[in-house]
Chains A and B, each alone.
Chain A
Amino acid sequence: MSLLDRDMAARVIRTALSRGGEFAELFAERRSGYNLRLEEGKVEENTSGWETGAGIRVICGESVAYAYTNDLSLASLEETARAAAAAAKAGRSTAVGLEKPLRLLPRREDHPVRLDIDAFPRERKVELLHRADQAAREAGSRIVQVVVALGDARQEVFIANSLGEVVTDLRVRVRMVVQAVAAHEGEIQTGHESPGILGGYELFQEFPPEEVGRAAALQALTMLEARPAPSGPMAVVIANGTGGVLFHEACGHGLEADAVYKRASVFAGRLGEKVASPLVNAFDDATLVNRWGSFAYDDEGVRARRTPLIQEGVLVGYINDRKRAMRDGTEPTGNGRRQSYRHVPIPRMSNTYIEAGRDRGEDIIADTELGLYARKLGGGEVNPVTGDFIFAVTEGYMIRGGKVAEPVKGATLIGNGPRVLLDIDAVGGDLDFDTGMCGKEGQAVPVCTGQPTLRVRELVVGGTTEVV
């Protein structure tokens, strides 16, 4: 059954535009979720929840008014629409498409769910956590703590707008996050793994919980042996998979059309220019089947697509939402996303990655005399205006004489997004992805970051010792 009635939606949209505005939209959702968390070998969190809500948006020039409520009754939606309407400046109204009944766009089944979350019993979900926990603990006696979190969610959305379109979509997601803590002689190190899927519990066929737990534990154990990282500029080889977070943070956010419009981006006004090494091809692609950051329609009802961002080092595209597409006179790229009905959609990445190149990952290391091998990156931060960034290397090694040498801890990568793109001098063929929750303007949405193994000619490594 649909969340809302189409005629009712049309009425609410007309109310939202009653005081002016060029575009109005009603986004309603029904979401249910189940979250488990295990720590100290015990399931200590066991939470289920469900919520319904609707957000109404009016766009008037560059202004956006938004109002939301948990109550989906017509009276409540009308009141919410009036609150959004009141914020619009009285003026031009182009309520096109509302004379006829709203047109329902085809429901898409791009991302099949093979083991549905509601059909998968609670006992088996609990068992997955124990399996990951046990495998992590068996990886070594220095593993002192393991935290396993498992979350599943079902989100049904109904999106109607003043263009006369209605989209309904169902997103089912499952993700497990394992954190392992290793300790020895007062030293503490952590390791993380976080497989996720736009799909169901078939996730664990590809990522058995034992392997996830063990990988997190091994990372923590390795870093326990690590020496303090050196500081200073050096060649940095960034491993495939999690390394993609660097491109996501240091470049991807600068390709979001709202940042470009505000010129809070080093890539503003640079379409068609060379911004990266000719080895670099980059995309945002929400159509990758069952990827954590994928969807069939974005949160504005625009069909998902694959958007080229950089081709052979030349900047070829930005990602946008409906508002920026309308205002900038461009096509919507299907990147209007929001955390929930409580949030205004804004341009967001989906699965963003640097495409595979020609080199072999191991050859890139073999070709590096002295440098840092960043096997895993943690979080980072970027100043969007300057492109300056900092990233924590959560698993790092020195490269000496073309070989991966001793592990190093406490390293950070400090640099500048555009400069790093130009300084990439080798790109491997081993593209891999990692899952994340991307935060922007207080909203978290699921994304994938991806990249093959690549080398940056020189980056400043922030560590605590001299290079020896």
Chain B
Amino acid sequence: MEPYADLGTQLEEWVERGRALVGAGAELELYAQEHRGLTVRVFRGEVESLRYAHSRGVGVRVLREGRLGYAYCTGFDWRDCSRAVEEAAANARFSAPDEHNLLPSPADRSPGDLGIYDPEVEETASREKVELALRLEDLTISLDPRVRRVETAVYADGVSVVAVANSLGVSGTYRSSDCHCYVFPIAEDGEESQTGFSFDQGVKPSDLDLERVAREAAERALCLLGSRSMPSRRTTVVLDNMVAAEFMGMLAAALSAEAVLKGRSFLAGKQGEQVASSLVTVVDDGLLPGGPSTAPFDDEGVPSRRKELIRDGVLTGYLHNMYTASRSGTESTGNATRSSFRERPGVGATNLFLCAGKGAREELVRGVDDGVLILQVVGAHAGANPVSGEISLGALGLRIKNGEPEQPLREITLAGKALEFLRQTVAVGEDLRFLPFEGSLGAPTVVVEGVMVSGRG
């Protein structure tokens, strides 16, 4: 047995001891997480910061007569953990009873090797990882004289061990590694400056293609030089795959059954309806090989799986954990998520993506006579509202004329409704790409007609 599996064994033992503390009639779940990571940030050829992280903690969920109490601690011993069990039981007394608060029972499903761990992360010396970040910065500023500096260049990795055990007999442990790098170069011409961005990610340092990241990031900054605003008009927009992936965050939030049940989703009550163009198929796949959010089971111990949420434009289902599934009379889709041991499980996407269609970005752009290629959006947190479905975002991009990207644009906004964006999608490209930040969201280039673009001039 791998040493990391000890954590699971330890949790099983604590669940047994915890049962005695909470007494008969209560169910108990322990979730433990241990993480070691390194983040290197470089600037002007020097290490700006180097950060070693070692954190661990246990989260305790107690259910008694449908009342839920939660507590967490950072001690990895029974003394702290038993106190958390008692505190969670005390908190449960002050929560509202809800028959849908349930823990999962053991399920017999073993997904095999998911490709989510590689020992290379732990075997590579910190010194070499620092070199990777320095090289990324150096490559980025060596491509074009107008890109002489970066805002930041980062290499980061981590190894996590997660274990879940509950009083119904669920017990599991897994280990995962992740690795990513990104750079924000600044392109300057006279008084004007523009920021670019690119990244790569994988399960080990050698997965990262630094040359490609540097080149793409620099190009994304350079192509915006000389930008200005444009007069307001309704037009066709081509959403770059990173931008489209950001929009998937809004969709992921609206597809959560928790949001649907609580009236916080613009997709509530639309199951079975055509909510998007027939070109749109959206999948959440917790078992995607090597995916940034791939794991054998979710954050309450339900086995992960792949599910279609929108098929050919028809909304086929929502993301569920045990609680929302029970309330909706369905089964958990393995989408219980928590950002750390400090939180009880909610509902969230694993690897959620818009399935690839046909054509490279260039081909999609060539099909647009008059429109805008959107390369960056700003305000995605505030301006893409999954409750109302309203979108109002600042953007940067390029004006498209006769199938060619031309005049760079800034100080423009995109506005409309998410359902309009989904229904007015007229092309989906082949270049599916995942953004590993704040989850794992993927999309190819997308073309949407009739979008209101506002500006000045």
Contacts and interface: CB of A to CB of B under 8 A. Distances in A.
A144 B264 CA distance: 10
B231 to A, nearest CB: 9
Interface string B372-383: 000000111111
Contact of A68 (B53, B70, B192): B53
Contact of B95 (A43, A70, A144): A43
Interface string A108-138: 0000000000000011001000000000000
Contacts, number: 222
Contact of B413 (A48, A147, A190, A414): A414
A12 to B, nearest CB: 15
Interface in A157-190: 181, 183, 187-190
Indicate the member of A62, A83, A86, A410 with the most B CB atoms within 10 Å.
A410
A190 B386 CA distance: 11
Contact of A392 (B43, B90, B383, B410): B383
A231 B410 contact: no
A303 to B, nearest CB: 25
Contacts of A412: 379, 383, 392-394, 413, 415
A410 B57 CA distance: 42
A156 B403 CA distance: 61
B223 interface: no
Contact of A48 (B68, B71, B232, B389): B71
A46 B91 contact: yes
Interface in B203-233: 229, 232
Given A64-B48, A181-B387, A122 B379 contact: no
- By size class, the interface of chain A is 35 or more
Contact of A70 (B50, B57, B389, B452): B57
A47 B385 CA distance: 27
B54 interface: yes
Interface in B164-210: 186, 192-195
Contacts of B53: 67-68, 342
Contacts of A83: 52
B94 A123 contact: yes
A264 interface: yes
B109 interface: no
Nearest to A36: B94
A425 B150 CA distance: 36
Indicate the member of A144, A263, A264 with the most B CB atoms within 10 Å.
A264
A315 to B, nearest CB: 18
B98 A388 contact: no
A66 B49 CA distance: 7
Interface string A445-468: 000000000000000111110000
Contacts of B343: 47
Given A392-B382, A464-B415, A62 B454 contact: no
B413 A390 contact: yes
A466 to B, nearest CB: 8
Interface of A: 39-53, 61-70, 80, 83-84, 86-87, 122-123, 126, 144-145, 147, 181, 183, 187-190, 231-233, 262-264, 342, 344, 378-386, 388-392, 409-412, 414-416, 460-464
Minimum-distance CB pairs A-B, first 9: A379-B382, A462-B413, A390-B394, A42-B96, A231-B454, A51-B74, A67-B52, A49-B72, A46-B91
7 contacts: A44-B68, A47-B71, A51-B72, A63-B47, A70-B54, A232-B456, A381-B378
Interface of B: 43-44, 46-57, 68-76, 84, 87-88, 90-92, 94-96, 98, 126, 149, 151, 186, 192-195, 229, 232, 262-264, 266, 342-344, 378-383, 385, 387-390, 392-394, 410-413, 415-416, 452, 454-456
